[in-house]
Amino acid sequence: MRLRHVILGTTLLFACEASAAERMFEPSYADAPVATSGLQAVAPDSPATQLLVGDRAPAFSYLAPDGRWYQFSALCARGPVLLLFGAGETELKSLENVLPLFTDLGITPAAVVDRRCGSAASLGRRLRLSCPIITDPKRAIAGLYNSLDASTQGHAPSFFVIDETRNIRALGHGPLPAPMDLLAVSSYSLGRPLPASAGTDRLDGTGSESAR
């Protein structure tokens, strides 16, 4: 009987140590990203207040529809980015139709979608999107950018014009402007003339916050 107690005690001790070791090495949310279905690894420096023009855009890593992880800072380093939240299929298709104008302006539109990797890939193929698609099924990136709907906790429509140093140059919350209006806001806030390919109509970017 005494031997049985010793064996049982030893077994329980090993079980407790194994459980503690398992908890000790359990990956946390801020660990290096692992390519699983749509999990986002977001920088821990989440803004405590509403983002404003002139603020530095929060950094994050994201899973693209190709199944690979990317750094948003690397995307910005290649040039200004127009970051969109809450865009519907019609809005994404309209944006795709004028994407060459944004290319001529030197800015890259990027759509953050509330979808997992596979669903985002299907969306991109169906709409024939060529702009970067950023998956955010956990709504973590939208949270960083104050772009969550208070009632549904889903993505709320918003846009951010972010320059190559990751400074916010313009932003807007609410229904997304038409693509040509977004082009005008981007042009004005970045201090760049509208490309000749945009025609003669020139908008002043009213209806959004813009750096002057």
15-50 pLDDT, tens digit per residue, is: 444 333 333 222 222 222 322 233 344 444 555 579
Residue 6 — pLDDT band, cuts 50, 70, 90?
Answer: very low
Confidence (pLDDT) at 199: 80
Is it the case that residue 114 has pLDDT exceeding 60?
yes
Least confident residue range of 21-35, 70-84, 159-173: 21-35
Is it the case that residue 168 has pLDDT exceeding 80?
yes
Give the SS3 label for residue 28.
coil
* Helix 179-190 × helix 89-97 angle, to 10°: 60
Confidence (pLDDT) at 31: 27
Residue 143 — pLDDT band, cuts 50, 70, 90?
Answer: very high
Is it the case that residue 188 has pLDDT exceeding 70?
yes
Is it the case that residue 76 has pLDDT exceeding 50?
yes
CB within 8 Å of 118: residues ≥ 6 apart: 37, 65
More confident residue, 48 or 159: 159
Is it the case that residue 67 has pLDDT exceeding 60?
yes
Of all residues in the chain, the percent with pLDDT exceeding 70 is: 71
Q: What is the pTM of this model?
A: 0.73
Confidence (pLDDT) at 12: 42
Amino acid, res. 124: G
Of all residues in the chain, the percent with pLDDT exceeding 90 is: 66
Please report which helix (H) or strand (E) contains residue 89, including its range: helix 89-97
Is it the case that residue 153 has pLDDT exceeding 70?
yes
Output the CA–CA distances (angstroms, integers) from residue 24 to 16, 21, 32, 74, 82, in the order listed: 12, 5, 16, 32, 40
Strand boundaries in 47-175, DSSP class E: 61-63, 69-71, 81-85, 108-113, 133-135, 158-162, 168-173
Confidence (pLDDT) at 30: 28
Residue ranges of domains in the chain, CATH in brackets: 61-210 (3.40.30.10)
Token pair, residue 1, equals 């009987």
Give the SS3 label for residue 36.
coil
Triad 140, 145, 151: Cα angle to 5°: 70
Instruction: Report the DSSP beta bridge partners of residue 62.
Output: 70
